[in-house]
Amino acid sequence: MSGYPTRPDRDDTDVVGARIGAQIIDTLVTFAIFIGVIMLFGIIGDATGSSDAASGFGLVGIITGFLGSIFYGFFLEGYWNGYTVGKKVLGIKVVKEDGSECGYTSSFLRNILEIIDGLFYYVIGFIFMASGDKRQRLGDRIAGTVVVKERTGTSGGTAETETKRDTRPAP
């Protein structure tokens, strides 16, 4: 499903705990990407038999791993309809304020500003989230995005509301 079925409201953006959990999961995933790329380039460098080549491949591995870690959130949110691995696991996603799909441009803006939001262990981001009605950090405000609970079902209701509906036949 692309986007969000309605314009997100305050209840839809009440996902601060899930955002923290998703950030932890995504940090672990990006760390694994970083280490995996470094190891891959290290193995290739060792296979050359030259210590200079091994050092060069090691440096390229560090740079590539770092860039992969940086572009992880931007790329996945733009490509995967507002999800990262952590967001998907915890049932939240990024959408525009009007409920439409996030897209690469919005994702890039919100993720590049995570540099500021992440200062002092995300205290800056929490201050912005606490001071706004839609719980947006600085990157979200500038990109015009919100993080919302994932909705399930074709009617746009959450799983909770889907089970509470009256299923009795009409008289």
pLDDT at 140: 96
Predicted local distance difference test score (pLDDT) of residue 53: 84
Kindly tell me if the per-residue pLDDT of 166 is higher than 50. no
pLDDT-derived band at 20 (thresholds 50, 70, 90) equals: very high
φ and ψ at residue 8, rounded to 5 degrees: -60, 140
- Rounded average pLDDT over 44-72: 87
Percent of the chain having pLDDT more than 70?
Answer: 88
Compute the average pLDDT of residues 131-136.
93
CA 49 – CA 35 distance, rounded (Å): 22
Say which residue the tokens 């600085």 belong to.
138
pTM tops 0.85: no
Which pLDDT band, with edges at 50, 70 and 90, does 164 fall under? very low
Q: Is 102 exposed, middle or buried (0-12, 13-18, 19+ CB in 10 A)?
A: buried
Amino acid (1-letter code) at residue 55: S
- Cα–Cα distance measured from residue 52 to residue 33, given in angstroms and rounded to the nearest whole number: 24
pLDDT of residue 152: 66
Per-residue confidence (pLDDT) for residue 171, from 0 to 100: 53
CB 34 within 8 A of CB 69: yes
Structural contact between residues 19 and 156, judged by C-beta atoms closer than 8 angstroms: no
